[in-house]
Chain A
Amino acid sequence: MVANIFNKLIHLQNFTSILEKLPYSPPFLFVDTLQHVDENGTEGSYTFPDDSFFYLGHFKQAPVTPGVILTEVMAQIGVVCLGIFLLSDTLTSNIAIAMTGTQVDFYKPVFPGETVTVRSTKEYFRFNKLSCKVEMLNSRGELVCRGTISGMMKPTTHA
């Protein structure tokens, strides 16, 4: 019981350290909370504020979250957070990251104010390339989008 609570505390602390290491800031930070992280995948969520910048133009008078933003949310929660976790042993300072490939299918629109949950499953992390299957669900548990996202992630060392 005590050990359980202790493990949970350690987990919470680690998740906070992952969030702190994310190389994004508003208006392009798309991770609110991480519910779960282990070496095989992550689960986290994000709520789209009504005044997010992209709603002004996508679309005129009819705000819908752009697919490219949904893809970014999946990449940040599903791939980048996992990469930071996997590199946490070696991660002394910064990481260089670059998205290298996406294949995403979209099923449901996401409107201003909605909360989405992202789940990722690692396919492989080899030679600095992290590739994950990622899916996004809305607050009703419906599938919003799903696909494969890959990126290169490696620690950068100061001279």
Chain B
Amino acid sequence: MQTKDELITTLKKIVKPYVQDEQAFEHVTEQTDFINDLKINSANLVDIALDVEEEFDIVIDNEAMEQMLTVGSSMDVINKKLAEKA
């Protein structure tokens, strides 16, 4: 299991290619919103979900997808799915 800091680092690595607001990306917190803060479009949000699935070997369902709007909520989803898998 990754620590909170490790998880943010991994998530930032996944999100980076899709970020349109570099300045907001430099100051990412758990509250950072993918669409409103990082200016990521909904199509790339899907790519992020698929990349998260691959990175953590988990399955993101529709319900989880709807929650993955901020860095913090994505971390919650990832931790929940990892716990279900364990």
- A contact set with B: CB distance below 8 Å: 100-101, 124, 126-129, 150-152
Instruction: Report the bound CA distance from A151 to B47 in whole Å.
Output: 12
Q: A126-B49, A126-B50, A127-B65 are in contact. List 10 more A-B contacts (CB 8 A).
A: A100-B43, A100-B44, A101-B43, A124-B50, A127-B46, A127-B62, A129-B42, A129-B46, A129-B47, A152-B42
Instruction: Report the bound CA distance from A101 to B44 in whole Å.
Output: 9
Residue pair B46, A126 in contact (C-beta under 8 Å): yes
Whether a CB of chain A sits under 8 angstroms from the CB of B41 is yes
Q: How many residues of B contact A (CB 8 A)?
A: 11
Contact partners of B49 in chain A: CB under 8 A: 126-127
- B contact set with A: CB distance below 8 Å: 41-47, 49-50, 62, 65
Instruction: Report the bound CA distance from A3 to B5 in whole Å.
Output: 61
Instruction: Report the bound CA distance from A151 to B41 in whole Å.
Output: 12
Contact partners of B46 in chain A: CB under 8 A: 126-129
Contact partners of B65 in chain A: CB under 8 A: 127
Report B30 CB to chain A, min CB distance, Å.
Answer: 23
Instruction: Report the bound CA distance from A126 to B59 in whole Å.
Output: 12
Instruction: Report the bound CA distance from A101 to B43 in whole Å.
Output: 8
Contact partners of A101 in chain B: CB under 8 A: 43
Return 22 A-B CB contacts under 8 Å, by A number.
A100-B41, A100-B42, A100-B44, A101-B43, A124-B50, A126-B46, A126-B49, A126-B50, A127-B45, A127-B46, A127-B49, A127-B62, A127-B65, A128-B46, A129-B42, A129-B43, A129-B46, A129-B47, A150-B43, A151-B43, A152-B42, A152-B43
Instruction: Report the bound CA distance from A124 to B49 in whole Å.
Output: 13
Residue of B nearest to A152 (CB): B43
Report A15 CB to chain B, min CB distance, Å.
Answer: 27
Contact partners of A129 in chain B: CB under 8 A: 42-43, 46-47
